[in-house]
Amino acid sequence: MTILVTGGAGYIGSHTVVELLNEGHEVVILDNLSNASVTALSRVEQITQKSLTFYQGDVLNKAFLQKVFTDHPIHSVIHFAGLKAVGESVEQPLRYYENNVTGTLTLCEIMNEFNVKNLVFSSSATVYGDPASLPITEDFPTSATNPYGQSKLMVENILSDLYQADNTWNIARLRYFNPVGAHPSGLIGEDPNDIPNNLMPFISQVAVGKRDKLSVFGNDYNTHDGTGVRDYIHVVDLARGHLQALKKLNTNPGLVTYNLGTGQGYSVLEMIHAFELACQKPIPYQIASRRSGDIAACYAAPQKALTELNWQASHTLEDMVMSSWHWQSNNPNGYSD
């Protein structure tokens, strides 16, 4: 099958493309490279020994999308393209809504025009806001506290409306927990543009000597050691979840929603200590004040994805930190090395 992957040069996209090519799919990637390097795609080809088709362009550009859909017999679309920095979204809400919401509207409009109605959408556990209890099941109430989260929630609602209006669509809304780690080859991984916002890339940049120390945002949460607890999921497990979602769409399920997480929460201090074991050196850190908008703890109930997608995470915490370190130590400056 030919799969169109928007944002396929990015972190999760590139890992998913590896799995798609390994399964024998034809892959067409569309990415504006606003947060990615084309080197990731040559590395994907190196890993898989298969070739892919790449278009540099924007999901907001209708004429460009029409050309891509005209030139390829696209069966399904995996839509990763989006902006993802929470703090930036607070400063530039219009840019985030335009890119994430209008971008998805434009894509769906062109999919409709070409009668391509199988879509996998990258949503986030952020749509659960501050959950009333744990673990989080898919039927928990949703909310958003920043424009990034709002854009994910708006798209989720738009996709639901689209399905109500035309139930020939098959749409999987995948709510990712905290993706970390890298491909075992060490050739592709997460390569943040600027100072990392997220924990794992920050820790690995401290380990490689690019940053002096990590700030731990709060040690007075109601968790076992006072630091924030999250459900970290290996990016290769996450990538495989997309293949299972595509298989599900082929059974005409309509609109479906799944958590992609492990069900296991780790604290910030546990992540630091696990990373220290992987890189065999201490990670200097200081306790800082809480980060605005953060919640104490968040982890998934992953059973629905197991039952309905036959998918569950198989990588351990050790796999996550070892692969992150392998990538970071081989590529201290990411793809610009």
Active site amino acids: 148
Amino acid identity of residue 305, one-letter, is A
Q: Which two tokens stand for residue 93?
A: 């809400």
- Quote the crossing angle between the two packed helices 199-207 and 268-279, to the nearest 10°: 30
| The entry of ligand UD1, ligand NAD, none that residue 35 binds, CB within 5 to 8 Å by partner kind | ligand NAD
- Site for ligand NAD, residues 142 to 181, rule: CB under 6 A: 176, 179
The site for ligand UD1, by CB under 6 A, has a size of: 21
Task: With beta carbons less than 8 A apart as the criterion, state whether 271 and 232 touch.
Answer: yes
Member of 25, 43, 230, 326 binding ligand UD1 (CB under 6 A): 230
String marking each residue 81-100 x if it binds ligand NAD according to CB under 6 A? xxxx--------------x-
Rounded Cα distance, 253 and 256, in Å: 7
Query: Can you tell me which of 131, 228, 241, 261 binds ligand UD1, judged by CB under 6 A?
Result: 228
Positive or negative CA dihedral for 234, 291, 293, 85? Answer: negative
Q: CB nearer to ligand UD1: give 45 or 294.
A: 294
Structure tokens at 110: 């062109």
Among 197, 219, 329, 330, binds ligand UD1 (CB under 6 A): 197
The closest of 144, 174, 157, 326 to 256, measured between CA atoms, is 174
Helix ranges (DSSP H) in 75-198: 86-91, 93-96, 103-113, 147-165
Select 58 or 156, whichever has its Cβ closest to ligand NAD: 58
Q: Is 319 in the site for ligand NAD (CB under 6 A)?
A: no
Of 32, 35, 51, 48, nearest to 239 by C-alpha is 48
Q: Which of 3, 4, 9, 216 binds ligand NAD (CB under 6 A)?
A: 9
The reply on whether position 331 binds ligand NAD by CB under 6 A is no
Selection from ligand NAD, ligand UD1, none that 215 binds (CB < 5 to 8 A by kind) is ligand UD1
* Binding-site member from 88, 92, 184, 217 for ligand UD1 (CB under 6 A): 217
Residues 55-84 that bind ligand UD1 (CB under 6 A): 84
Residue 283 as a binder of ligand NAD (CB under 6 A): the answer is no
Backbone angles phi, psi at 55, to 5 degrees: -120, 125
With b for 16 or more beta-carbon neighbours within 10 A and e for fewer, the 251-270 pattern comes to eeeebbbbbbbbbbbbbbbb
- What gap in Å lies between CA 191 and CA 189, rounded to an integer? 6
By CB under 6 A, is residue 254 in contact with ligand UD1? Answer: no
Contacts to ligand NAD by CB under 6 A? 6-7, 9-13, 31-36, 58-60, 80-84, 99, 103, 122, 124, 176, 179
Contacts to ligand UD1 by CB under 6 A? 84, 86, 124, 126, 148-149, 178, 197-199, 202, 214-217, 228, 230, 268, 291, 293-294
